[in-house]
Structure 1
Amino acid sequence: MVLDKLGQSLNNALRKLARASTVDEALVREVVRDIQRALLTSDVNVRLVLDLTKKIEKRALEEKPPAGVSKKEHIIKIVYEELTSFLGKEAKPIEIKEKPTILLTVGIQGSGKTTSVAKLARYFQKHGYKVGLVCSDTWRPGAYFQLKQLVEPYGIEVFGDPEEKDAVKLAKEGVEYFKKKGVDVIIVDSAGRHKEEKGLIEEMKQISNAINPHEVILVIDGTIGQQAYNQALAFKEATPIGSIIVTKLDGSAKGGGALSAVVATGAPIKFIGVGEKIDDLEPFDPKRFVSRLLGLGDIQGLLEKFEELSKETEFTEEDVEKFLRGKFNLKDMYAQLEAMRKMGPLQQILKMIPGMGYSIPDEVIKVSEERLKKFKVIMDSMTEEELENPEIINYSRIKRIARGSGTSTKDVKELLNQYKQMKKFFKGMDKRKLAKMAKKFNFGGLGI
């Protein structure tokens, strides 16, 4: 999940506030120190951290909560608002105003540029656009084949020639090819440069002059932390139509540093890479990002993922509600976990639900793809009655199911235990309280 350690630390600070019997100056200062530590550990610039936390502390100590809002709730809202402002305030989407819209991507070698190009193509495809990809990377052997392999399962065409050495010629020919084919969006993948911004900017200018893109996108590796500042600044100064994708934010301790460094340059972050799969790219919206980071949910993001999923499966919001109320059997559990897995890692999805982000036991959500496959094999050996009423499964039935599925009794018990844990957890959630909080503060960018 995006910046897990930072989110967990910030969430712990807010929990300390929520659990306190009274809110005094000492507690406010302690919570602010916890927030400072969390941000510094995530490689955010010291000066920026001090500026941010001074604002939080000043407002928390001086502002009076509005009518109907407790002091604790008001401080949580202050943290949310200041972090959102810190990361850019508003979302800045890539607009498809005319067809074809031409996008040019550039980046340092190893930044995850080619993978990001494939993810971007998939993103636009899911939103109803016909996409063509042009590989003009003549430096890296295999770049064309990598891009082709990534998007082939989705029927997205790639133009390229591994034998051609002229990147500008390739880019120009590829754009003309897709213009004739009538696609909506053309994405040109340029060659990555090896830790050398000047060369990268120069090639960007050459290709840009040849194809006249509507937008140039710089891909920055989120694991480089504060070093992202120099890349973003050089790029911003070189092009007036630039936007940025920050990649590899799913496991890096430096992700907070990279995000804040880019924002400090004034360059707009439009997407972030949140995982290895081709669907793990999302528009960067500071409000929704911070809301999830703090464990406050992202209802709007969840609804959008449901909408995407419903186009590809028969999965509905009613199915999710049944799941979250703990009213499901084994058959439902598998179908719902499988459907939610298509929306992204389960923990990412659950973090979109207010209050659930960091309160879920790891054993409840660590359902790997391999385990899901094994669980399906086990369930295939159960009777319809057992799937609908798992409570009737005794030891003799467990032995029969294990024999029939080619697994062990331990595996069958693990499935039943997973089912019981998930059912118990979701039944125990105080959903009314969470919904009330999300509605009161409009967390996650949901207009109510």
Structure 2
Amino acid sequence: MFENLTDRLSRTLKNISGRGRLTEDNIKDTLREVRMALLEADVALPVVREFVKKVKERAVGQEVSKSLSPGQAFIKIVQTELEASMGEANEKLDLAAQPPAVLLMAGLQGAGKTTSVGKLAKFLKERESKSVLVVSADVYRPAAIKQLETLADDIQVEFFPSSIEQKPIDIATAAIEHAKKQFIDVVIVDTAGRLHVDESMMDEIKDLHQAIDPVETLFVVDAMTGQDAANTAKAFNEALPLTGVILTKADGDARGGAALSIRQITGKPIKFIGMGEKTDALEPFYPDRIASRILGMGDVLSLIEEIEQKVDKDKAAKLAKKVQKGKGFDLEDFREQLVQMKSMGGMMGMMDKLPGMGQLPDSVKDQVNDKLTVQMEAIINSMTPGERARPEIIKGSRKRRIAAGSGTTIQEVNKLLKQFTQMQKMMKKMSGKGGMRKMMGRMQGMMPPGMMKGKPPF
């Protein structure tokens, strides 16, 4: 997400460096470029105008702090205004109501609403320790009811059955009554996708809202529709008292116009952002972290949180002990690392959150393509347990069998074995005295200046 905007702003903001003072003349060109970058990212024109105006007001005539270069001072202003336009801080769901707290989901057809219900239920269950019941009031699409039932079964939350013969209000009130009797914390009500111009459908959801009086009314919108997402959210907000927005399919949006426009146009906060199809691909929306990512400074806090949630701590501790005892690092351990990395969005997903990665040349990025990690896992899966434990026995005929089984070539099997050998050597060095400190020092020497300290790479 934001690749185009990050690339354009990174190039633009380099041009402001080297000034002793920020004046109207020396920031005029930079502001013009910032304006163009935002418009190309499909940010709504009124939002762009307001943003550029505020940046200019704060930047012109500002004396540059002794500890910062003018470029960094200007970047800090741009970052602060990006945060302000997106809402400054994450706004959590209001679940303080008498149980069950009722959440109503609204949105257009095809925005990813039913999937978001499943993701949100999983988030509340695992991260907020809530008991959750999901129910579909979409009486126009039998497949939607079945889809939600399948999702509920997958994430192990309670599903309240419904059918197309029932009325949405009857379905929702029966589900809430059931939740009260079962002492369930949260009820999430999925509704039919609708067009905001469809008056009868809008009247239906207004009546449903009035009947169940939810503590949260969340509008689910597709990030890839750009500024149209903000305009649609505004139209829905005029019909329903929305409390927040869930921005879906953000991983497929290289522009980011929706994220930057919604808060300003609707006055409603983006509470969650969907970053993939899997049920755990839903993140709370933090404007400060997103602003940092847009400016190529990474998002280390989100990366740390993701590692905390998704890395199997027992397996990690087991591997650390194994390496420290000098028992070596084998191909099964290597495979486990690839699987863990995949669960965190792959190598590129992790790299996007590291400072300075936007400045890496494409040739370097191509070397860490996620297709390669999938291929490497397939090669290891085609090996026997004995071969994974003792890679040195993998010779000619074994290589041919492994290549055929994984749909790769002998050259690709050789490449994997070479990479594994290099990683094995690195693990051996880490197990020695002061090994980790030495390795971190070596890594710092390999990376762009300032990157390890989280400084902007401008």
TM-score (norm 1): 0.81
Alignment of 1:203-282 (within 5 A): 203-240=204-241, 242-252=243-253, 255-257=256-258, 259-282=260-283
Relative distance call for 1:213 and 1:385 in structure 2 (3 A) is: same
* Cα distance per residue 1:178-229 (max 9 Å; x no partner): 2222222110001111353644542222222322211111112222222233
Deviation at 1:266, TM superposition (A): 0.6
Q: Aligned partner of 2:245: which letter?
A: I
Q: Aligned partner of 1:101: which letter?
A: A
In structure 2, C-alpha distance between the alignment counterparts of 1:208 and 1:255, rounded to whole Å: 30
In structure 1, C-alpha distance between the alignment counterparts of 2:26 and 2:227, rounded to whole Å: 30
* Structure 1: 5+ residue stretches without partners: 387-391, 442-448
In structure 2, C-alpha distance between the alignment counterparts of 1:352 and 1:303, rounded to whole Å: 10
In structure 1, C-alpha distance between the alignment counterparts of 2:421 and 2:243, rounded to whole Å: 50
In structure 1, C-alpha distance between the alignment counterparts of 2:192 and 2:271, rounded to whole Å: 21
Contact kept in structure 2, 1:378 and 1:402, CA below 8 Å: no
Alignment of 1:358-397 (within 5 A): 359=360, 361-367=365-371, 370-378=374-382, 380=384, 382-386=387-391, 397=395
In structure 1, C-alpha distance between the alignment counterparts of 2:169 and 2:71, rounded to whole Å: 58
Match of 2:126? 126
CA RMSD after TM alignment? 3.6
Deviation at 1:66, TM superposition (A): 2.2
* Cα distance per residue 1:8-66 (max 9 Å; x no partner): 3333434x349x66688777444433322221111112343233234334544522232
Q: Aligned partner of 1:352: which letter?
A: K
Give secondary structure in 2 for the equivalent of 1:86.
Answer: helix
**Is 1:101 the counterpart of 2:101 in the alignment?**
yes
**Is 1:202 the counterpart of 2:200 in the alignment?**
no
In structure 1, C-alpha distance between the alignment counterparts of 2:289 and 2:56, rounded to whole Å: 23
Contact kept in structure 2, 1:235 and 1:242, CA below 8 Å: no
* Structure 2: 5+ residue stretches without partners: 427-438
In structure 1, C-alpha distance between the alignment counterparts of 2:345 and 2:444, rounded to whole Å: 23
Alignment of 1:15-414 (within 5 A): 16-17=14-15, 28-98=27-97, 99-127=99-127, 128-196=129-197, 198-240=199-241, 242-252=243-253, 255-257=256-258, 259-310=260-311, 314-315=315-316, 333-357=334-358, 359=360, 361-367=365-371, 370-378=374-382, 380=384, 382-386=387-391, 397=395, 400-404=398-402, 406-407=405-406, 408-414=409-415
Contact kept in structure 1, 2:194 and 2:202, CA below 8 Å: no
Aligned length: 423
Match of 2:433? none
Contact kept in structure 2, 1:279 and 1:344, CA below 8 Å: no
Deviation at 1:144, TM superposition (A): 0.8
Deviation at 1:142, TM superposition (A): 0.6
Contact kept in structure 2, 1:129 and 1:185, CA below 8 Å: yes
Give secondary structure in 2 for the equivalent of 1:133.
Answer: strand
In structure 1, C-alpha distance between the alignment counterparts of 2:418 and 2:27, rounded to whole Å: 41
Deviation at 1:92, TM superposition (A): 1.0
Q: Aligned partner of 2:298: which letter?
A: G
Relative distance call for 1:126 and 1:289 in structure 2 (3 A) is: same
Contact kept in structure 1, 2:230 and 2:258, CA below 8 Å: no
Q: Aligned partner of 2:217: which letter?
A: V
Relative distance call for 1:93 and 1:199 in structure 2 (3 A) is: farther
Higher deviation after alignment, 150-159 or 358-367? 358-367
In structure 2, C-alpha distance between the alignment counterparts of 1:331 and 1:431, rounded to whole Å: 32
Match of 1:444? none
Contact kept in structure 2, 1:378 and 1:412, CA below 8 Å: no
In structure 2, C-alpha distance between the alignment counterparts of 1:112 and 1:187, rounded to whole Å: 15
In structure 2, C-alpha distance between the alignment counterparts of 1:78 and 1:420, rounded to whole Å: 47
In structure 1, C-alpha distance between the alignment counterparts of 2:374 and 2:37, rounded to whole Å: 34
* Cα distance per residue 1:365-395 (max 9 Å; x no partner): 3236742541322565745354xxxxx79xx
Higher deviation after alignment, 191-200 or 337-346? 191-200
Match of 1:446? none
Q: Aligned partner of 1:107: which letter?
A: G
Relative distance call for 1:231 and 1:64 in structure 2 (3 A) is: same
Q: Aligned partner of 2:95: which letter?
A: I
Q: Aligned partner of 1:410: which letter?
A: Q
Contact kept in structure 2, 1:41 and 1:253, CA below 8 Å: no
Contact kept in structure 1, 2:86 and 2:261, CA below 8 Å: yes
In structure 2, C-alpha distance between the alignment counterparts of 1:79 and 1:209, rounded to whole Å: 41
TM-score (norm 2): 0.80
Deviation at 1:272, TM superposition (A): 1.5
Higher Rg of the two aligned structures: 2
Higher deviation after alignment, 420-429 or 141-150? 420-429
Q: Aligned partner of 2:214: which letter?
A: P
Relative distance call for 1:431 and 1:5 in structure 2 (3 A) is: closer
Relative distance call for 1:9 and 1:199 in structure 2 (3 A) is: farther
Relative distance call for 1:312 and 1:158 in structure 2 (3 A) is: farther
**Is 1:433 the counterpart of 2:450 in the alignment?**
yes
Deviation at 1:287, TM superposition (A): 0.5
Alignment of 1:416-427 (within 5 A): 416=417
